[in-house]
Amino acid sequence: MISGEGASAGGGCELTAGGSMGRPVFGDVNPDIDSERKASSFDVEKLVNFLDGGADQTRMRRYVENIINNDPVFSQENQYFLTPVERYEAAAKGTIHLHRKIKELGWKDDGPEVQFAFRVIGSEMAFRIHSAVFIPTIIGLGTDAQIAKWVPLAKDYRIIGTYAQTELGHGTNLRGLETTATFDTSSQDFLLNTPKVSSIKWWPGDLARAANHAVVLAQLYTKGVCHGMHAFIVQIRSLVDHSVLPGIKIGDIGPKMGFEQVDNGYLMMQNVRVPRENMLSRYSRVTSDGSYIKEGSDRINYISMVFTRVKLISRELIPALSKACVIAIRYSVVRRQSELKPGEKEAKILDYQTQQQKLLPQLATIFALYFMSLSLEAFCNQVNLQIKTKRDLSSLLELHALSAGLKALASESCSAGVETCRRACGGHGYSMFSGLPSLYSRVVASCTYEGENTVMLLQTARFLMKCLARLDCGQPLPQSVSYLSEPISSYCSAKEKTDFFKPFLYTEAYKHRAQRLIKDSGDKLQSLLQSGVEQYVAWNITSVQLARTSVAHCHYTVVKNFVEAMEGLKPEPEIQQVIKRLCDLYALTGILANAGDFLCDGYITGKQLDLLTSSQLDLLALIRKDAVSIVDAFDYPDQQLNSAIGNYDGYAYQHLFEWAQKAPSNAKVDPVYEKYLKPLFQSAQSKL
Amino acid sequence: MISGEGASAGGGCELTAGGSMGRPVFGDVNPDIDSERKASSFDVEKLVNFLDGGADQTRMRRYVENIINNDPVFSQENQYFLTPVERYEAAAKGTIHLHRKIKELGWKDDGPEVQFAFRVIGSEMAFRIHSAVFIPTIIGLGTDAQIAKWVPLAKDYRIIGTYAQTELGHGTNLRGLETTATFDTSSQDFLLNTPKVSSIKWWPGDLARAANHAVVLAQLYTKGVCHGMHAFIVQIRSLVDHSVLPGIKIGDIGPKMGFEQVDNGYLMMQNVRVPRENMLSRYSRVTSDGSYIKEGSDRINYISMVFTRVKLISRELIPALSKACVIAIRYSVVRRQSELKPGEKEAKILDYQTQQQKLLPQLATIFALYFMSLSLEAFCNQVNLQIKTKRDLSSLLELHALSAGLKALASESCSAGVETCRRACGGHGYSMFSGLPSLYSRVVASCTYEGENTVMLLQTARFLMKCLARLDCGQPLPQSVSYLSEPISSYCSAKEKTDFFKPFLYTEAYKHRAQRLIKDSGDKLQSLLQSGVEQYVAWNITSVQLARTSVAHCHYTVVKNFVEAMEGLKPEPEIQQVIKRLCDLYALTGILANAGDFLCDGYITGKQLDLLTSSQLDLLALIRKDAVSIVDAFDYPDQQLNSAIGNYDGYAYQHLFEWAQKAPSNAKVDPVYEKYLKPLFQSAQSKL
């Protein structure tokens, strides 16, 4: 299973089960897909192990998958027929069941089995905000006493908490949040208030129905002075009967494009009293006389935001695109449409160059992001260590800027990629049974949450502009932008099309593009300022260009990292060949998609672009031969794909037909006929 | 209301009601949106009339909208809370109700009131396949006697028919369909059969629950010979009790990404007997001894397929993008986020250049497609007349090629545009209440139905390659491609940024790109063939380039048409100014998005591209001032937008909050608490 975390997930364990799940070991397989597997240029199991980070990891993962997939409580078999409330209930049931199961099996909370289990159940986990945000926030911002009080209760689901930050009127811009927490010295309480409609907390998951507590982010006021955003633990529902407590209003925010199983809610508070000890006080506290005391810097907490973004790439984005590719590529070798050669059998649609052009670059993106997320995670761990051991925050800004831009790039490309896969499956990609609509509606949310992408790109751009200024002053640059101080090569040296398979050559092209765009943006800002334009105006009217600049920087970073990772690996040569081709494809496809950036200053000539186009098409034809094996190596059991057209056995039509027959609407009498059509139809009898 | 049909919709009528619907005439309006309206550079009502095709049309449309929107049966108020079955039922109820209402009001079947009413109810009409495909197919392919027998019954819903063409295994490639109709001389019946799983009819709308008849497309066999695809009227359910007839299996194909209100179904037939007179026989018939007789050419029927594609642009695509723009632009002036100028009030998000760059080009696309669809419809009518009056089919191929490519271009750009609008609304764009997710999931289907887009583009490419061959032989070219015989200009003459506001200049650039790409594709094909590559292989390995070539051809056609329409109009100068700016924006945005195509042969230099970029950004700032007025001029009543964040009054947050409170889940006891959480929570009481 490809998730960018393979190499970091835990060590060995006793394994009682092995083998590849979800595959019809003795079953029949569609000959059209079987022939693809037989023609593979490499041993799939080797690539599986590589992506898992070793054969031990593969065994462990399959062992956990086996347990989950054989437990009917976790079955997602009829998921596409459920209403949002039913989805929520099924997810809650599964999550509580998993909690018990983990205890039964003696798995450690932070052990590899649990990590694998979470990944298998994936999007169908309930109480994700509770476990992934409420608890970590208390651990991150709470005192030891607060952690000791709340965390054990929360881990056992004896309380369920939500994280109430976003308001109707404010999302990514946290400083604009309007909820207030005013300290009342007389009662030693904070009074929490929702001053306006736009201040209503909106979107928190687990809030509408499940949570009885919330970490509420609010502007802290003591002695009439605002101290900015702080976090408070607020009890919102009774522990006795789950009724909403006085002064509080809670509700569901209504249906969404995805995340049907999550009870996203709204929260309004009117003079809700919270005891002084419920303000999370690791970095600042309020004394009994209302004095506000800061203790150290809470900048250290940026690291958790960064971790969240990095894990987003490995846990949500890469799996979404991987699953979409498995489905679309398997379908594309069993779907036959039109004769390619007149008079012959209809061709597999993956044999059409246009279909290859849609799907195969997505495979390349998966590997690019996989290696990128490994590096990014390593960088995170390193920065975290620096902070923990030396209180050294010096790399935090660089990490923040890098992760912000890469989050944007990764979520954009995975969302676009999933949708491309979906549409490449034609009409069947529009059926929920394909699994693809759900993958899209879920993954595309990531372009907005954890920081809206344009905002993210502009944050990276701000960092790049700062680095440019440092460069001008002769100061050293952080490692990820050190290339800014390297000379800019002025033209691409490719002379024939095979030159474009040289990693050095295309990496240089990406570097050139990023260097040029960063310098151009800096120049534009400078010239605007020098002509008397105010700083904020100059920034705004350069922002479209700045966002593009960030993309170019991130794109270069990803390509360079892909090349380094690929060259640094010494796996089986057959695996390396597959990965090398994907690396080339990623780089060349990106140049073609942004050709203007490479052509506009003559770095690449029109003639070279023709060669490059030809190289890219050659790659498609080569990778096409291994496409099925590559997606097989992602090793998703059928249950996890939950796709009628993406099953391992390749019987897309048969599964679509089977699944349709289970539609509950097929079992019911049609209300429309009884109510509206019966008399009309019966009057036609005499005429026919 | 913008739909590309304004100028062609019917004539005058008695009007009893006027005024703009859905607007709070005496109500309060958010000052943030009010100030936008007051600053408009033009009179909105003038643009409304222009888009409607005259003030009379506007009055007529509003009169119809008023009737529909004040009728509670058509209310879509709680639509986002309904299950698919409830949506289907509501749509059926509304459609039958509308049918009665039309009779009551004495509106003519093909009159303008009915057209407007259909457009108002739009996506919530039921039995669309029945009325838009089943009936027209009988009219198009049936004999006079068949039309006389079936059409009156169908128009009164005394029968409901579906159109069963697509199969599990075949979509756009109709020749591959596998269902058979075998004539049995002894019984004078056709035997209809579904030979394999892949032959099951799949997707027909109105089939799963409503229809009692179907036009079934099947391969006709008589005397052991296959005569290709023909259409048969098959009764599939009893008129007495709606039970499925013997030999037939019908069911729902399960949930989809959109079209929840449509009962898309599957159909299997085993030796289903259909009388000889049920084969639609205008162009071919089977005699009682099983002889097959062709009567004239059925190519004439291509015109109906073309009409369908052209109407798709005006009736589905433009309205979807228009509504998305209304919603996103109104929201973007009431949403305030972050200080643009430090210390000042938070800025309207439409004041950010990045937001303008996302939204305003969508407005330009709407107008580009609006004018294009007017021209295309005129071309259709002209070809139709040629056929009807002179049996002259000579322009059909050209029309087919043009409409195929433009269908692809329009559905791509509208789908991408709607999704851009949706994402530009951040988290609230993810809420169903915004109206945007439904718009997207519906509009994106148009990239697949009525001909999958890549297939469409390649059909256009095939036509272009044929034209190139004709050109080489010195034969005259059809009007839409006559530019191929014009000289290719070799460089762009722009010297300063205002040059890019000259329509001649950018039209030439698009022409150059299309000419070059068409010739390059032709050259590549030629050289492959000359080197001994087989024709079909050559076509396939050129197909990625051919598809791009078609896009360039269509893009040029749209730009040229936009310029001609804009220059040919003499409306109020203030309207012309607005439209001129949008025309410039459309053209320049397209060049930027495809910069590589314009740069690669030096037609546009890097320097010129910088000027162009600057011109495009200048346009954004100008159009931004009128953005709200432009979308107001689309004149959608709130009921039709059905968006909590896109209302005329601009109170996005208030409406979101109101709507959320109506969520049915808010009224229910939480099953999860009772079943799973209660004991856990109660055990926490002693700890807190």
* Interchain CB contact of B601 with A (< 8 Å): yes
Is the residue at A457 inside a domain?
Answer: yes
- Determine which helix (DSSP H) or strand (DSSP E) holds A273, and give its type and residue range: strand A272-275
Give the count of Cβ contacts less than 8 A between chain A and B. 352
Tell me what pLDDT residue B683 has.
87
* Chain-chain contact of A544 with B659 (C-beta, under 8 angstroms): no
Rounded to a whole number of angstroms, the distance from the CA of A540 to the nearest CA of chain B is 6
- Tens of pLDDT, residues B163-220: 999 999 998 788 899 999 999 999 999 999 999 999 999 999 999 999 999 999 999 9
Q: How confident is the model at residue B339 (pLDDT cuts 50, 70, 90)?
A: confident
Interface contact A176-B592, CB threshold 8 A:
no
Q: Contact, B354 vs B617, CB < 8 A? A: no
Looking at residues A131-150, what average pLDDT do you find? 95
**Rounded to an integer, what distance in angstroms lies between the CA atom of residue B92 and that of residue B89?**
5
CATH number, domain at A254?
2.40.110.10
| Residue closest to B5 by CA, chosen among B97, B105, B119, B88 | B119
Question: Rounded mean pLDDT of B569-587?
Answer: 91
B497 touches chain A (CB under 8 A): no
Distance CA A216, CA A235 (A): 10
Angle between helices A353-390 and A606-632 in degrees, nearest 10: 80
Q: Are residues B524 and B544 in the same domain?
A: yes
Mean pLDDT of all residues in B41-46? 95
pLDDT of res. B687 = 80
Classified as helix, coil or strand, B7 is: helix
- Res B489: pLDDT: 87
Which position has the higher pLDDT, A304 or B269? B269
Contact A660 B254 (CB under 8 A): yes
A402 and A285 housed in the same domain: no
Using CA atoms, how far apart are residues A494 and A512, in angstroms rounded to an integer?
15
Phi, psi of A107 (to 5 degrees): -70, 140
CA-based nearest residue to B267, from B211, B341, B321, B228? B211
User: Which residues in chain B are contacts of A209 at CB distance < 8 A?
Assistant: 665, 670, 672-673
A-chain residues near B85 (CB < 8 A): 665, 668, 671
DSSP A198: G
- Please tell me the number of Cα atoms within 13 Å of A230 on its side-chain side: 31
Beta bridge partners of B225: B222
The predicted model gives A395-416 an average pLDDT of: 97
Mean pLDDT, chain B, integer: 93
Q: Burial-class residue B108 by CB neighbours within 10 Å (0-12, 13-18, 19+).
A: exposed
CATH of the domain at B610: 1.20.140.10
Rounded to an integer, the average pLDDT of B324-348 is 94
Find the domain containing B263 and state its range: 161-295
Q: How far is CA A126 from CA A69, A123, A129, B141, in A?
A: 17, 8, 8, 55
In terms of domains, do A365 and A256 share one?
no
Q: Where are the beta strands (DSSP E) in B124-261?
A: 161-164, 180-184, 189-193, 201-202, 213-222, 225-235, 248-252
A117-129: per-residue pLDDT in tens? 988 887 788 999 9
Instruction: Judge whether B137 lies within some domain.
Output: no
Residue where one domain finishes, among candidates B624, B652, B675: B624
Q: What's the alpha-carbon Rg for chain A, to the nearest Å?
A: 27
Write the residue in B156, B454, B606 that is nearest to A600 by C-beta: B606
Whether A682 and B239 lie within 8 Å, measured CB to CB: yes
Answer yes or no: is pLDDT of A8 > 80: no
Q: A301: closest CA among A285, A283, A316?
A: A283
Contact B460, B397 (CB under 8 A): no
Q: State whether B490 and B545 are in the same domain.
A: yes
C-beta of residue B397 within 8 angstroms of C-beta of residue B463: yes
Domain-located, residue A37: no
Q: What pLDDT score was predicted for residue A184? A: 97
Q: What's the whole-number mean pLDDT along residues A473-495?
A: 95
In sequence order, which residues have a C-beta less than 8 Å from that of residue A656 and are 6 or more positions away? Answer: A428, A431, A433, A644, A645, B168, B202, B253
**pLDDT value at residue A625:** 97
A201 backbone dihedrals φ, ψ, rounded to 5°: -65, 135
- Tokens for B621? 């700032």
Whether pLDDT at B275 is above 80: yes
Report d(CA A318, CA A321) in Å as an integer.
5
Pairwise CA distance, residues B200 & B267, whole Å = 6
Query: Contact, B300 vs B387, CB < 8 A?
Result: yes
Enter the pTM of the model: 0.95
For residue A340, give the nearest of B256, B441, B540 by CB distance: B540
Q: Is A108 on the interface with B (CB under 8 A)?
A: no
Same domain, B275 and B317: no
For A596, which of B197, B200, B599 is closest by C-beta distance?
A: B599
Express each pLDDT in A348-404 by its tens digit. Answer: 999 999 999 999 999 999 999 999 999 999 999 999 999 889 988 889 999 999 999
Name which of B96, B431, B543 is nearest A256 (Cβ-Cβ): B431
Are A401 and A313 in a shared domain? yes
Place of tokens 């006080």: A281
> Is some CB atom of chain A closer than 8 A to the CB atom of B458?
yes
Residue B45 annotated among the catalytic residues of the structure: no
Q: Does some domain include residue A240?
A: yes
Q: What is the DSSP string of B24-80?
A: -SSS---HHHHHHHHT-SS-HHHHHHHHHTSHHHHHHHHHHHHHHHT-GGG--TTGG
Q: State the nearest Cα–Cα gap between A419 and chain B, in angstroms.
A: 10
Question: Which of A231, A422, A255 lies closest to A324 in space, CA to CA?
Answer: A422
A348 & A496 share domain: yes
Number of domains in chain B: 2
The answer to whether the beta carbons of residues B242 and A673 sit under 8 Å apart is: yes
CA separation for the pair B646, B2 (Å, rounded): 17
Cβ-based contacts of A165 with chain B (< 8 Å) = none
> Which whole number is the average pLDDT over B39-55?
95
B345 touches chain A (CB under 8 A): no
Q: Which two tokens stand for residue A200?
A: 């209503």
Which residues of A are annotated as catalytic?
A: 450
Kind and range of the H or E element at B367?
Answer: helix B353-390
Residue type, A252: D
Q: Does one domain contain both A447 and A503?
A: yes
CB < 8 Å to A445, chain B: 430
Question: Which residues of A fall within a CB distance of 8 Å from B434?
Answer: none
- Please report which confidence band the pLDDT of residue B17 belongs to, taking 50, 70 and 90 as the band edges: very low
Instruction: Tell me if residue A359 falls in helix, strand or coil.
Output: helix
Q: Which of A529, A327, A334 is nearest to A437 (CA)?
A: A327
From CA A218, how far away is CA A199, in angstroms rounded?
10
Contact A384, A306 (CB under 8 A): no
Task: Give the residue among B285, B309, B286 at the shortest CA–CA distance from B141.
Answer: B285
Interval A438-463 mean pLDDT: 96
Q: Does residue B56 fall inside a structural domain?
A: no
| Cβ contacts of B529 within 8 Å, gap of 6 or more | B535, B538
Interface of B with A in 511-570 (CB under 8 A): 534, 536-537, 540-545, 547
Interface contact flag, A255 B600, Cβ < 8 Å:
no
Separation between Cα atoms, residue A169 and residue A174, nearest integer Å: 10
Indicate which residue of B450, B452, B534, B674 is catalytic. B450
Q: Does A82 touch chain B (CB under 8 A)?
A: no
What pLDDT does residue A1 have? 58
Say if A240 is an interface residue toward chain B (CB within 8 Å): yes
Coil, helix or strand at residue B273: strand
Residue B28 within a domain: no
Q: Decide: B687 and A242 in contact? Cβ < 8 Å.
A: no
β-strand B272-275 against B265-269: which pairing, if any? unpaired
- Least Cα separation, residue B431 to chain A (angstroms): 4
**Phi/psi at B379 (nearest 5 deg)?**
-65, -45
Q: Which of B624, B656, B682 is the last residue of a domain?
A: B624
Q: What is the structure's pLDDT at B123?
A: 76
Asked if pLDDT for residue A337 goes beyond 50, the answer is yes
Taking the CA of residue A16 and the nearest CA in chain B, the distance in Å comes to 31
Residues A599 and A462 in one domain: yes
* Secondary structure letter of residue B1 according to DSSP: -
If asked whether residues A352 and A435 sit together in one domain, one would say yes
Mean per-residue pLDDT, B107-131 = 90
Residues A481 and A557 reside in one and the same domain: yes
Contact: A677, B160; criterion CB under 8 Å = yes
B138: its two tokens: 């009988």
Do B415 and B291 belong together in one domain?
no
Check residue A12 and give left, alpha or beta (phi > 0: left; psi -120 to 50: alpha).
Answer: beta
Distance from CA of A473 to the nearest CA of B (A): 26
Q: Sort out which chain A residues have CB atoms less than 8 A from B257's CB and list them.
A: 430-432, 437
Task: Decide if A354 and B653 are in contact by the 8 Å CB cutoff.
Answer: no
Rounded CA separation B439/B452 (Å) = 19
**Residue B333 CA neighbour count, 13 Å, CB half:** 27
Enumerate the residues of chain B whose CB falls inside 8 A of the CB of residue A80: 254-255
Residue showing tokens 């009518």: B381
Q: Pull the structure tokens for residue A662.
A: 């289970």
Mean residue pLDDT across chain A: 93
Q: Is residue A230 part of a domain?
A: yes
Q: Which domain-ending residue is among B624, B645, B674?
A: B624
pLDDT in tens, B604-646: 999 999 999 999 999 999 999 999 999 999 999 999 999 999 9
pLDDT at residue A175 in the model: 86
pLDDT tens, B219-231?
999 999 999 999 9
What distance in Å separates the CA atoms of residue B530 and residue B542, rounded to the nearest whole number? 14
- Residue B317 lies inside a defined structural domain of this protein: yes
Confidence of residue B673 (pLDDT cuts 50, 70, 90): confident
For chain B, give the percent of residues with pLDDT over 90: 83
Q: Which residues pair with A226 in a beta bridge?
A: A221
